[in-house]
Amino acid sequence: SAVISQKPSRDICQRGTSLTIQCQVDSQVTMMFWYRQQPGQSLTLIATANQGSEATYESGFVIDKFPISRPNLTFSTLTVSNMSPEDSSIYLCSLLRVAGGGDTQYFGPGTRLTVL
Amino acid sequence: AQSVTQLGSHVSVSEGALVLLRCNYSSSVPPYLFWYVQYPNQGLQLLLKYTTGATLVKGINGFEAEFKKSETSFHLTKPSAHMSDAAEYFCAVRLNTGNQFYFGTGTSLTVIP
């Protein structure tokens, strides 16, 4: 398993502001990810956070809106910039733990964001 | 592109009854298969996974799932539902090449006392 913490656990923000979410994991991992889970929906991958290089974004997500940092192998941040009510979601970080015969993804507890 | 289908966005069972949550995937090769559970206001927790070997996989909290290649299915079951099982359940697949996980749309399980 894995121990993953996220801060803040929830926040209520005003339109036009930005929020940075932190993700801390208990051991060094190569691959970390950021997901969005909109109300009543499944998970959508935003990007892969690469240590020492720029994040790799999925279609529909751009760095200007969701800048990501990965300064080391146990920490990453996701910023939601210039927020609008449509950004209200749960944001989840995850890591991929490599194990012979089946790498497994573990998730943090999530950050519940409400944009007014 | 890969897809994961969870039949039934909402399932209700009585306490003590059988739980059956369905998951089908589209893949030309057997993928790695996962079930995650999300309790209210929490993140996702791994319930169980299938990689290789025995097709019947046992997970936490009394859940198990069976990989059926001929049916491209990985249905989740539990013989006797408990009130604490009420949660959202997500099926996910990952090909044995690459790191992308594909998630189903989730099934909300309600347990009726």
pLDDT digits (tens, 9 = 90+) for A3-56: 899 999 999 999 999 999 999 999 888 889 999 998 878 889 999 998 888 899
Residue A39 confidence (pLDDT): 83
- All residues of chain B having their beta carbon less than 8 Å from the beta carbon of residue A4 are 43
Give the distance from residue B110's alpha carbon to the nearest chain A alpha carbon, in angstroms: 15
Q: Kindly report the average pLDDT of chain A as a whole number.
A: 91
The total of other beta-carbon atoms located within 10 Å of residue A105's CB is: 22
Name the closest residue on chain A to residue B33, using Cα atoms: A102
Cα distance between residue B17 and residue B78, in whole Å: 9
The answer to whether B56 and B63 are in contact (CB under 8 A) is no
Cα distance between residue A27 and residue A77, in whole Å: 16
Q: What is the mean pLDDT of residues B44-71?
A: 92
